[in-house]
């Protein structure tokens, strides 16, 4: 690779007379050729024809201080070196006729000489890639001595500068992301769901049911619906969110519907309950399938009649809320097996939308990645971005079959949070991405191991038995093992496992039956303890 410098002849700075004294003065074009760690193989000296004498002297001097450098002359025609149009035009012409060979040569555009107008033109031409190189600036030595001075190379590829890159992404987010009010998703199915949801949330106050795998973004969507209604002034109240899996026993009732003071032990004060808190607003019940049967009945009444009884109270309370329910279970299955009330399901299964998994809308991963970065930036107060190579490596993995995205957007969020937190000066590097990919792979394989019956039975079966058994046996044994582990005794485990057939038997010996069953696989109950 040859290094070629393109420099305007400095009609002031390179002009230091013809006497010996000129050697004691800093002359930028010559000093560029005097750097011990920069070898200019060729110097393209650009000047107006009437400066030929100066150009010849500078050429001669360059060849003395730097015999390795070849100097070539180029004439440019501009009458007034302060006339922007004229200077830009002639430098543009120069760049078009030059014939750059970027495979064999790299170019440095020297911007220390020439008028400020010429410097601006060189900058513009370099930035626009007409001059395909990097800018170089020379400066005199610090003290008034005979040193050759120094130089700095400036690469206009802004992506190489962390600070500037961060600045860009901030402006970007302020513009497009805010105006579009969210993430610009590409997946057709998802976009169709959203489009319809927007209409419905404006026109209807009926319940909405959101289904889809965990982490698909159900609660995010509930929030968006609420915000949308808010901007249209359709809700006055709050958005109240609760995950039904966290509601258990007496607490569930009182949390949802409130209680009167003294309704039960520990009910020292009155409690309003979530339904009342959501008055004139939205109640988002996530994992509604986890709600107990009694609560389901109360909820149905609250939806239909707009009123309900707080726990331990005789007087009904009224609350006008819109219900959004979320679930990752099949509620129809649940209603068939009696775990979910059919009438409640019928009531909430009016506007049902299934949110695709991340894997099903993988084309939206990239925009969501930017969204996550932006979110992190807002939280952390500092901007984070990938460097180009790191980003493409991450995207490649994200699209690969290895990436299962088991917990969907929750996994993506966690992954980006980790990368952003560990980033160095706001830049996510290739090394960090490699570590993160390892981590994700490990997490996903660990989780699949947890769910894999063969992996579970491998813990207690001997190798020979393990390989002989059908998947059917492994699945069955996994369930048996789970019951055995949680039961206090072999008899209790037997009672649970044979809960139906034991009713028909005249004499029951549950522990004996279990013992025999386990013995078939060469197992003993004690290994589960």
Partner 1 sequence: MLVVDGSQGEGGGQILRTSLTMAMVTGTEIRIENIRAGRVKPGLMRQHLACVKAAQAVSNAKVSGAEVGSTEIVFKPKAIKAGEYHFAVGTAGSTTLIFQTVLPALALAEAESRLSFEGGTHNFFAPSFDFIALVYAPLLRQMGVEIELKMTRHGFYPQGGGQWQAVIKPAGRLSGLDLLDAGVLIGKEAVVTSANIPGHVAVRELAEIAKQCKWPEEVLKSERVESMGSGNIVSMRLHHECCSEVVEYVGKVGVSAEKVARRAIQAIRRYQAAAVPVGEHLADQLMLPMAIGGGGVFRTLKPSLHSQTNRDVIHLFTDKRFEFEGLAKDLWEIRI
**Counting contacts by CB under 8 A, is residue 527 touching partner 1?**
no
Part in contact with partner 1 (CB under 8 A); list of ranges 37-45, 154-162, 188-196, 216-224: 37-45
Residue 138: its H or E element: strand 134-139
Distance CA 124, CA 498 (A): 83
What the block records as the tokens of 378 is 């807002």
Contacts of 211 (CB under 8 A, 6+ apart): 218, 326, 327, 328, 331, 352, 353, 354, 355
Rule CB under 8 A: choose which of 17, 50, 53, 67 binds partner 1.
67
**Counting contacts by CB under 8 A, is residue 34 touching partner 1?**
yes
**Counting contacts by CB under 8 A, is residue 331 touching partner 1?**
no
Whichever of 65 and 367 has its CB closer to partner 1, that residue is 65
**Counting contacts by CB under 8 A, is residue 103 touching partner 1?**
no
Burial of 435-454, coded b for 16+ CB within 10 Å and e otherwise, reads: ebbeebeebbeeeeeeeebb
**Counting contacts by CB under 8 A, is residue 105 touching partner 1?**
no
Rule CB under 8 A: choose which of 5, 6, 13, 33 binds partner 1.
33
Rule CB under 8 A: choose which of 129, 139, 145, 509 binds partner 1.
145
Give the count of residues interacting with partner 1 (CB under 8 A).
25
Whichever of 23 and 82 has its CB closer to partner 1, that residue is 23
Distance CA 1, CA 341 (A): 76
**Counting contacts by CB under 8 A, is residue 35 touching partner 1?**
yes
117 φ/ψ angles, rounded to the nearest 5 degrees:
-60, -45
**Counting contacts by CB under 8 A, is residue 95 touching partner 1?**
no
Q: Cβ of residue 182: shortest distance to partner 1, in angstroms?
A: 49
**Counting contacts by CB under 8 A, is residue 470 touching partner 1?**
no
**Counting contacts by CB under 8 A, is residue 66 touching partner 1?**
yes
Part in contact with partner 1 (CB under 8 A); list of ranges 67-75, 115-123, 197-205, 373-381: 67-75
Q: Cβ of residue 188: shortest distance to partner 1, in angstroms?
A: 53
**Counting contacts by CB under 8 A, is residue 363 touching partner 1?**
no
CB of 58 closer than 8 Å to CB of 69: no
Contacts of 509 (CB under 8 A, 6+ apart): 494
493 φ/ψ angles, rounded to the nearest 5 degrees:
-60, -40
**Counting contacts by CB under 8 A, is residue 18 touching partner 1?**
no
Whichever of 19 and 338 has its CB closer to partner 1, that residue is 19
Whichever of 148 and 240 has its CB closer to partner 1, that residue is 148
Contacts of 287 (CB under 8 A, 6+ apart): 243, 244, 245, 326, 327, 328, 329
**In 3D, which of 471, 452, 506, 485 has the Cα closest to residue 518?**
485
Rule CB under 8 A: choose which of 7, 59, 69, 115 binds partner 1.
69
Whichever of 65 and 475 has its CB closer to partner 1, that residue is 65
Q: Cβ of residue 387: shortest distance to partner 1, in angstroms?
A: 23
Residue 4: its H or E element: strand 2-8
What the block records as the tokens of 439 is 């981590």
Distance CA 166, CA 324 (A): 38
Rule CB under 8 A: choose which of 15, 51, 65, 154 binds partner 1.
65
Give whole-number Cα distances, 108 to 97, 151, 200, in Å. 17, 11, 61
**Counting contacts by CB under 8 A, is residue 77 touching partner 1?**
no
Whichever of 68 and 330 has its CB closer to partner 1, that residue is 68
**Counting contacts by CB under 8 A, is residue 38 touching partner 1?**
yes
Rule CB under 8 A: choose which of 39, 164, 195, 389 binds partner 1.
39
**Counting contacts by CB under 8 A, is residue 146 touching partner 1?**
yes
**Counting contacts by CB under 8 A, is residue 1 touching partner 1?**
yes
- Laid out side by side, the sheet with 322-327 consists of 239-243, 282-286, 322-327, 208-211, 351-354
Q: What is the CA radius of gyration of the chain?
A: 37
Distance CA 346, CA 336 (A): 13
Part in contact with partner 1 (CB under 8 A); list of ranges 31-39, 93-101, 399-407, 508-516: 31-39
Q: Cβ of residue 401: shortest distance to partner 1, in angstroms?
A: 40
Distance CA 192, CA 207 (A): 19
**Counting contacts by CB under 8 A, is residue 171 touching partner 1?**
no
Part in contact with partner 1 (CB under 8 A); list of ranges 139-147, 341-349, 367-375, 420-428: 139-147
Contacts of 113 (CB under 8 A, 6+ apart): 7, 8, 9, 10, 11, 13, 14, 28, 29
CB of 41 closer than 8 Å to CB of 2: yes
Q: Cβ of residue 31: shortest distance to partner 1, in angstroms?
A: 9
- Kindly list the residues in this chain that would bind partner 1 in the complex (CB under 8 A): 1, 20-21, 23-24, 33-39, 61, 64-69, 143-148
């Amino acid at each position: 690779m040859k290094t070629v410098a393109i420099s305007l002849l400095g009609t002031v700075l390179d002009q230091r007379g013809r006497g010996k004294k000129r050697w004691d003065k800093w002359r930028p074009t010559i000093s560029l050729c005097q750097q011990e760690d920069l070898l200019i193989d060729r110097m393209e000296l650009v000047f107006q024809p009437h400066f030929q004498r100066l150009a010849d002297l500078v050429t001669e001097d360059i060849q003395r201080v730097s015999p390795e450098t070849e100097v070539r002359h180029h004439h440019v025609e501009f009458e007034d070196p302060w006339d922007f149009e004229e200077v830009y035009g002639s430098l543009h012409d120069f760049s078009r006729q030059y014939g750059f060979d970027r495979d064999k040569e790299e170019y440095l555009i020297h911007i220390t000489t020439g008028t400020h107008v010429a410097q601006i033109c060189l900058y513009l031409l370099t930035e626009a890639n007409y001059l395909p190189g990097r800018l170089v600036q020379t400066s005199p030595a610090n003290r008034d001595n005979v040193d050759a001075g120094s130089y700095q190379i400036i690469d206009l590829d802004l992506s190489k500068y962390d600070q500037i890159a961060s600045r860009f992404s901030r402006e970007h987010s302020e513009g497009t992301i805010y105006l579009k009010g969210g993430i610009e998703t590409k997946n057709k199915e998802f976009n169709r769901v959203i489009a319809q949801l927007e209409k419905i949330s404006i026109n209807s106050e009926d319940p909405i049911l959101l289904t889809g795998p965990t982490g698909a973004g159900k609660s995010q969507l509930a929030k968006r619906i609420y915000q949308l209604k808010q901007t249209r002034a359709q809700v006055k109240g709050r958005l109240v969110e609760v995950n039904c899996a966290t509601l258990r026993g007496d607490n569930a009732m009182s949390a949802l519907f409130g209680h009167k003071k003294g309704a039960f032990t520990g009910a020292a004060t009155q409690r309003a309950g979530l339904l009342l808190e959501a008055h004139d607003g939205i109640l988002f019940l996530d994992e509604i399938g986890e709600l107990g049967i009694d609560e389901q009945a109360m909820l149905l009444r609250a939806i239909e009649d707009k009123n309900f009884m707080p726990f331990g109270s005789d007087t009904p309370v009224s609350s006008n809320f819109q219900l959004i329910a979320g679930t990752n279970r099949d509620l129809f299955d649940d209603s068939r097996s009696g775990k979910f009330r059919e009438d409640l399901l019928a009531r909430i299964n009016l506007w049902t939308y299934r949110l695709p998994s991340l894997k099903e809308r993988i084309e939206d991963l990239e925009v969501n990645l930017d969204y996550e970065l932006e979110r992190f930036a807002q939280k952390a107060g500092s901007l984070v971005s990938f460097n180009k190579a790191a980003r493409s490596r991450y995207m490649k993995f994200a699209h690969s079959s290895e990436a299962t995205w088991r917990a969907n957007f929750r996994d993506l969020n966690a992954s980006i949070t980790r990368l952003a937190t560990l980033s160095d000066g706001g830049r996510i590097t290739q090394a960090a991405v490699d570590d993160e990919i390892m981590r994700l792979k490990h997490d996903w394989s660990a989780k699949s191991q947890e769910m894999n019956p063969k992996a579970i039975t491998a813990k207690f079966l001997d190798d020979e038995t393990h390989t002989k058994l059908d998947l059917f046996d492994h699945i069955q044994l996994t369930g048996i093992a789970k019951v055995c582990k949680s039961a206090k005794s072999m008899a209790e485990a037997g009672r649970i496992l044979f809960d139906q057939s034991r009713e028909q038997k005249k004499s029951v010996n549950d522990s004996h039956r279990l013992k025999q069953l386990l013995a078939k696989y060469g197992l003993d109950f004690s290994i589960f303890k």
